Amino acid sequence: MAEWDEILHMRQILHADFDAFYASVEQREDPTLRGKPVVVGGRPELRGVVASASYEARGFGVRSAMPMRTALQRCPHAIMVNADFRLYNQVSRQVMSIFRNITSLVEPLSLDEAFLDVTDLVNDKESATDIAIKLKEKVRAVLGLTISVGVASSKSVAKIASDMDKPDGLTVVACGEEREFLAPLTVEKLWGVGPKTAERLAQAGVLTVGDLSSKTNEWMQANFGQVGLQMKRLSLGEDQSPVVVSRERKSVSAEMTLATDSNDPEALHDLVRRLSDRVGTDLEYRGIVAKTVKLKLRLADYTTFTRQETLISPVGSAEGIAEAATKLLLPELSTERFFRLIGVGAGGLVPSSQAQIHMESMTQLRLGGFE
Ligand code: TTP
Ligand code: MG
Ligand code: MG
């Protein structure tokens, strides 16, 4: 009986993720970049980091989040491209709509990846694997880009699976084989296990997911608390978390460290404008507006503080964010103050449609007051 119960409740989850997203979009736009090591990211002289590296560049050891300087040392002939967030947002919207044409149960995790719950689509004629193959073909045909897909009975296993065979991969973990699949992987593959936790686990001789799964619940709880129990469940392939169609984001932000600590109003304003552009593009893409705008500032001595303003009418564009952020920056500038890092954030997020209603009713109230 228990087994039947399991089979009846077995879910079929896909995790799809673009291969080298930013870099692949750039290669698609400019054919001369195809087959070449391409890195998208910030300029090395501005302490830029790699956002995305094409698979050709990865052959030279270039990785995301690596300082651009290091990337160019490893791969001197790499072609550097500035990020075009508007374009990536557009491609993201397109891929999400391809996903939603397959099922409405789509949970975007970031611009380039999403979970799809296809449980109800699977039947005698079409397996989850067939759906995954169809999805890959569709994305290639419509967008000229490749995705890698993981198919499994849970979100966490599907996400790990999609990363196993990149680029253009398809990894299927059959129902009941989750433990075997996970066992040889390093603990860092598990959701929520970062370098620090991995280091602590390594000290206890726990290197692989298999090692972790053989630890007792008591040991996991004693050493890592509630999170420990969650890790143990994930190591066994147990993850009941549902695909959540709309994920509420509480804030959107972007920050950047300056090449050299600066007190130059022009350079600082310029940075605020660029960060606002990123935040504003993200808001536009999501169709949301912000009621508060925040500025994060770090001085040369690492003192860090924030300034924020709650706006009378919410903003949802790069220009609106920049205007508010610039106002916050102005009183902080002085020749003695050298800044090391600046961040721009948007909070109090509401759907644009809702903000519209809110503003209309405020207008009506005001009109009412005049009568
Ligand atoms: P990822 O899916 O993590 O990376 P990727 O698509 O470039 O490569 P992969 O084939 O391994 O999936 O992230 C998607 C995009 O998010 C990536 O193209 C650029 C951006 N990004 C950053 O800006 N900084 C980062 O540190 C990472 C990891 C990603
Ligand atoms: Mg990706
Ligand atoms: Mg991704």
CA of 346 to the centre of ligand 2 (A): 25
Q: Is the CB of 162 under 6 A from ligand 1?
A: no
25 three-state secondary structure = helix
CA of 20 to the centre of ligand 3 (A): 8
- Written out in words, the top-level CATH class of the domain with range 21-84 is alpha beta
Residue nearest ligand 1's atom 5 by CA: 20
Residue nearest ligand 1's atom 25 by CA: 51
Q: Chain-wide mean pLDDT for the chain? A: 90
Instruction: Provide mean pLDDT across the span 212-229.
Output: 95
Residue 344 tokens read as: 């721009």
Q: Is the CB of 166 under 6 A from ligand 1?
A: yes
Q: Which CATH superfamily is domain 251-360 in?
A: DNA polymerase, Y-family, little finger domain (3.30.1490.100)
Q: Is the CB of 64 under 6 A from ligand 1?
A: yes
pLDDT, one tens digit per residue, over 24-61 is 999 999 999 999 999 999 888 877 889 999 999 999 99
Q: In three state form, how does the secondary structure of 135-187 look?
A: HHHHHHHHHCCCEEEEEECCHHHHHHHHCCCCCCCEEECCCCCHHHHHCCCEH
Residue nearest ligand 1's atom 22 by CA: 51
CA of 37 to the centre of ligand 1 (A): 15
Determine the Cα–Cα distance for residues 59 and 353; give it in Å rounded to an integer. 46
Return the ligand 1 atom nearest residue 113 CA: 2
pLDDT, one tens digit per residue, over 177-206 is 999 999 999 999 999 898 889 999 999 999
pTM, 2 dp: 0.74
Query: Which ligand gives the minimal distance to the CA of 164?
Result: 1
CA of 101 to the centre of ligand 1 (A): 24
pLDDT confidence bin for 350, thresholds 50/70/90: confident
pLDDT, one tens digit per residue, over 144-161 is 999 999 999 999 999 999
Token pair 């903000």 is at which residue?
A: 355
Judged against a pLDDT cut of 80, whether residue 19 lies above it is answered with yes
| C-alpha torsion 336→340→344→347, nearest 10 | -90
Determine the Cα–Cα distance for residues 150 and 136; give it in Å rounded to an integer. 11
Residue nearest ligand 1's atom 7 by CA: 20
Q: Is the CB of 112 under 6 A from ligand 1?
A: yes
pLDDT confidence bin for 7, thresholds 50/70/90: low
Query: Which ligand gives the minimal distance to the CA of 88?
Result: 1
Catalytically active residues, by annotation: 113
Topology annotation, domain 177-244: DNA polymerase; domain 1 (1.10.150)
- For residue 371, the model assigns a pLDDT of 28
Q: Is the CB of 154 under 6 A from ligand 1?
A: no
pLDDT confidence bin for 287, thresholds 50/70/90: confident
Q: Is the CB of 145 under 6 A from ligand 1?
A: no
Residue 23 tokens read as: 């870099």
Domain coordinates of the chain in residue numbers? Answer: 21-84, 177-244, 251-360
pLDDT, one tens digit per residue, over 324-343 is 999 999 999 999 999 999 99
Q: Is the CB of 19 under 6 A from ligand 1?
A: yes
Residue 234 tokens read as: 């994930």
Judged against a pLDDT cut of 70, whether residue 73 lies above it is answered with yes
Q: Which residues surround ligand 3, an ion (CB under 5 A)?
A: 17, 112-113
pLDDT, one tens digit per residue, over 250-286 is 788 999 888 889 999 999 999 999 899 889 888 877 7
CA of 13 to the centre of ligand 1 (A): 21
